[in-house]
Amino acid sequence: MQITKFLRRRAHEVRIGDTLIGGNHPIAVQSMTNTPTADVELSVAQTRRIADAGAPIVRLTAQGRREGEALAPIVERLRSDGYNTAIVADIHFTPEIAMIAAEAVDKVRINPGNFRTSNGELERLVAICRRRGVALRIGVNHGSLAKRIFDQWGDTPEGMVASAMEFLRMCRELQFEDVVVSMKSSNTRVMVHAYRLLVEAMEREEMTFPLHIGVTEAGDGIEGRVKSAVGIGSLLADGIGDTLRVSLTEDPECEVPVGNALVAHFAKRDGEFEVKHPERYSPTKYQPRTTHKPIIHSEITDLYDIVDATSANPTAEWRAAILNRDDSRPVVIRRRYDESDKELVALHAAADMGLLLIDGLADGVWVDAPALSEAEQSDLELMILQAARVRFSRTEYIACPSCGRTLYDIQQTLATIKARTSHLKDLKIGVMGCIVNGPGEMADADYGYVGSSPEHITLYRGREIVERNIHQSEALDHLIEIIKADGRWIEP
């Protein structure tokens, strides 16, 4: 017999400036600026807006020396303005800039895919972090694994775990424990699987590093919120996560209330539910119960069994009920949401239901929400199914949230691309601000629109470059012509 209930994963405490994560501390919500970091005034102003929205941690990109050297005056200005917000430097390619940043900020994020370990660079960075009390984030990205990792493991969750564990072992050898880990992907299924495998790997080696969770390139609007809620909610439901970011292609301060709403939704998960057949479920192995096409409520027939959840812990309640069934009929999970705010309905439903879909336990969803019209209810259910990657019914946009590396106005560009392509079916389009993560993070997209230089775009078909350095004024027309040439265009 097994009892399923909410138990938060044990993580040791890490200090990031004045913010503590891990241990028994609340989950901290953070965001990232999209201003040019070298512009101190703009970056300070936006950091203040993010902090005022309720984020205790703010990250800034530092892709070059000018950006790295701007971090010290940014932090100084914020402190003189009375802001104790924890400041994080985001480093991708240049370890030298990480050393500069570590002298100014509260945490440094490095990407193992772009950070060498053979020449003492990590040791030098850790020495600075230890001296100043700076935390380190090992930030693994699905789309930017080191070549030697990719050659051995491929572009897989297992490869992401191997990359993270290599660096964590090195930090342990250096007796440096102020480390946070992330396993980011725009694919919710890959992201959830990678974090679960990482937790297992760390437990085998008795590691308790706290976890930063999030779905990268989630897009914007309600779809971006639903996709984030499915991925983040799936982990929070299993007690995984100590700090999080909701990555939206919107002004960064818009991310914070969404993150705080998700944290609040999982702040109390009451209820214990007996599982008589735990052998039917493995959280790190996808085992769909049936081969039925996942459905929404308007498609339900007598073939389906409806399983309701009414407790404060709906995910655990559904999971236990489904695992205990001896009925072979496909399952639709249903829950009533009485919130009047449509965005909250979407966030809560996606966060509650996503895990059951990702784990293959549910065959359909029914969001019973009086605040939504019949059409809105069906549309939300389809969004949840698509975010969990079990049924595609619309164009999916893998769009980065923008940062100081972005080479064009990505928010307006995404809106324009959606206006001309959202009628297409079963298509994934990547809209990425720069080449740092762009080509990798949109690896499973059908087409890619990636900034290559200021106001210039490189277009991709899958991983293949089709056209380079097209001026932005012409790039969307060129992208549509490529889609037409492939026979995947339909007239609106």
Nearest to 401 by CA among 126, 186, 231: 186
Closest residue by Cα to residue 14 from 1, 28, 3: 28
The region that residue 216 occupies, defined by phi over 0 for left and psi between -120 and 50 for alpha, beta otherwise, is beta
Nearest residue to 456 (alpha-carbon basis) of 465, 469, 447, 466: 469
- DSSP class of 185: B
Helix (H, G, I), strand (E, B) or coil at 182: strand
Domains assigned to the chain: 9-265 (3.20.20.20), 273-387 (no CATH), 396-485 (3.30.413.10)
Spatial separation of the C-alpha atoms in residues 210 and 230, rounded to whole Å: 21
Q: What is the pLDDT of residue 118?
A: 67
Query: Within 10 Å of residue 58's Cβ, how many Cβ atoms?
Result: 26
**d(C-alpha 215, C-alpha 223), whole Å:** 13
**Which residue bears the tokens 């290599």?**
166
- At residue 283, φ and ψ (nearest 5 deg) are -65, -15
Cα 255 from chain centre: 12
- Alpha helix stretches (DSSP H) within 137-284: 147-153, 157-173, 188-204, 221-237, 255-265
What pTM, to 2 d.p., does this model score?
0.90
CA 20 from centroid of its chain's CA atoms: 21
Q: Write the single-letter amino acid at 219.
A: G
- The torsion angles phi and psi of 491, rounded to 5 degrees, stand at -70, 140
Encode the chain (492 residues) as per-residue pLDDT tens digits: 567 767 889 999 999 999 999 999 999 999 999 999 999 999 999 999 999 999 999 999 998 999 999 999 999 999 999 999 999 999 977 889 999 999 999 999 998 877 777 678 899 999 999 999 999 999 988 877 777 888 888 888 999 999 999 999 999 999 999 999 999 888 899 999 999 999 999 999 999 999 999 998 777 889 999 999 999 999 999 999 999 999 988 899 999 999 999 999 999 887 788 888 887 787 776 565 556 789 999 999 999 999 999 999 999 999 999 999 988 899 999 999 999 999 999 999 999 999 999 999 999 999 999 999 999 999 999 999 999 999 988 888 877 666 655 656 777 888 888 888 888 878 888 887 666 555 666 667 888 888 877 778 888 888 788 888 888 888 888 988 888 888 888 887
**Would you state the pLDDT for residue 77?**
97
Q: Is the CB of residue 269 less than 8 Å from the CB of residue 316? A: yes
Partner residues linked to 391 by β-bridges: none
- Give CA–CA dist 366/382, Å, rounded: 10
* Largest pairwise CA distance in the chain: 66
Residue 349, helix vs strand vs coil: helix
Instruction: Report the alpha-carbon distance of residue 89 to residue 429 in Å, rounded.
Output: 29
Model pLDDT, residue 154? 81
Report which residue type is found at 455: E
Question: DSSP label at 358?
Answer: H
Give the residues across from 181 on adjacent strands: 138, 211
User: For residue 207, what are the CA distances in angstroms to 9, 89, 170, 236, 281?
Assistant: 12, 24, 12, 19, 25
At position 314, the amino acid (one-letter code) is P
**How do beta strands 179-184 and 428-432 pair?**
unpaired
Cα 67 from Cα 44, distance rounded (Å): 13
As a whole number of angstroms, the distance between CA 218 and CA 433 comes to 13
DSSP H helical segments within 13-113, as ranges? 40-52, 65-80, 95-102
Phi and psi at 471, nearest 5°, equal: -60, 145
Distance set, CA 218 to CA 61, 82, 227, 252 (Å):
19, 33, 6, 13
With helix as H, strand as E and coil as C, how does 280-344 read?
Answer: HCCCCCCCCCCCCCCECHHHCCCCCEEEECCCCCHHHHHHHHHHCCCCCCCEEEEEECCCCCHHH
Strands 456-461 and 447-453: antiparallel
